[in-house]
Structure 1
């Protein structure tokens, strides 16, 4: 568990969301899970919406680390994005599903939280466009990655693994070709069949 009270509260919120879902994430349940009084929780997060925003800020900071890793990756942003387009763990899937469900409920969740989630998705789009220079290919890759991730966290049926492997190989081959052109827009805009 993290060292500060604020971090302990956010850790507890993550735990409650993963184990019990967004409806169980009350101020009382999170305070209890964090081992703090409700007053202690309210000192750091005066509302459930503030607490949710705090968690989304934490997720956004983690996403920034992932964006930096994608930029540094010798495999390129597109391959990195597609390779990481499935939740790494069941807990990650539950956490993001719960956060999205909480945002969709609009029950006291500040607009900042939804905007931060939106920016995470937009940043992947920007990185793919910058690397590939082919807007159709960049958006195709983004939509495939987002679709895989969102389908997985929603518990929807996943594609046949062999077919998915062929789809990803096709897209990464196209991405490699676009990268070799330089990602400066020189790739033809209709490069995706």
Structure 2
């Protein structure tokens, strides 16, 4: 007699496992490999179980986006709480999280999301809304032109890091970090 119906269910753990597997498949085999069948099989979850959490591939990508931006929001909020200077606080938190490869947890998943952002208009719109929300929340402290320059420079470096194409040594990177941080205070 099967004891499957007596097994405790952990829907959040299953959901997170599905997101992790989708990210891993995309990194190892490319975004096209992320099919509902492949994810359910690799996760050891029935297709019905996967469909319970994510009815289609876009909802799976949406789930990955939500998971990562929630973690990003927490990292930014933590760094902002640690910064006593209001002017440019969001920009300095943004620099801290995105500029240094070790500053952003789940870096491998961000690679997956970056590819998805490029190819999925729906996710690009969600990212635009995320950025606009944070900028509007911090308009009084981070709307200076120099802060915008710093954030755009960090975006470029973040993309280079995600693509594995950084071209600067540690000393140059440290000088750039210092300069961008100084821009956030102007």
TM category (shorter chain) comes to 0.7 to 0.9
Match of 1:78 among 76, 85, 91: 91
**Residue 119 of structure 1 aligns to a residue in which SS?**
helix
| Partners of 1:27 and 1:38 within 8 A in 2 | yes
Match of 1:159 among 168, 176, 180: 168
> How many Å apart are 1:126 and its aligned residue?
4.7
What is the TM-score normalised by the length of structure 2?
Answer: 0.75
> Aligned pair in 2 of structure 1 residues 77, 52: CA closer, same or farther (>3 Å)?
same
Give the aligned partner of residue 191 of structure 1: none
> Aligned pair in 2 of structure 1 residues 145, 7: CA closer, same or farther (>3 Å)?
same
Name stretches of at least 5 consecutive residues in structure 2 with no aligned partner: 1-9
Aligned length: 172
Distance 2:182 2:105 in 1: 31
| Partners of 2:157 and 2:166 within 8 A in 1 | no
| Partners of 1:45 and 1:51 within 8 A in 2 | yes
Bigger Cα displacement from structure 2, 24-33 vs 68-77? 68-77
2:25 is the alignment partner of 1:16: yes
| Partners of 2:31 and 2:112 within 8 A in 1 | yes
Name stretches of at least 5 consecutive residues in structure 1 with no aligned partner: 179-193
> Aligned pair in 2 of structure 1 residues 126, 30: CA closer, same or farther (>3 Å)?
same
Distance 2:103 2:32 in 1: 22
Distance 2:60 2:13 in 1: 15
Alignment of 1:33-112 (within 5 A): 33-74=42-83, 76-84=89-97, 85-88=99-102, 92-106=106-120, 111=122
> How many Å apart are 1:34 and its aligned residue?
1.6
> How many Å apart are 1:33 and its aligned residue?
2.1
> Aligned pair in 2 of structure 1 residues 54, 90: CA closer, same or farther (>3 Å)?
closer
2:179 is the alignment partner of 1:170: yes
| Partners of 1:18 and 1:91 within 8 A in 2 | no
> How many Å apart are 1:65 and its aligned residue?
0.9
- Deviating 4+ runs (over 6 angstroms): none
Distance 2:172 2:159 in 1: 18
2:18 is the alignment partner of 1:5: no
Distance 1:43 1:104 in 2: 27
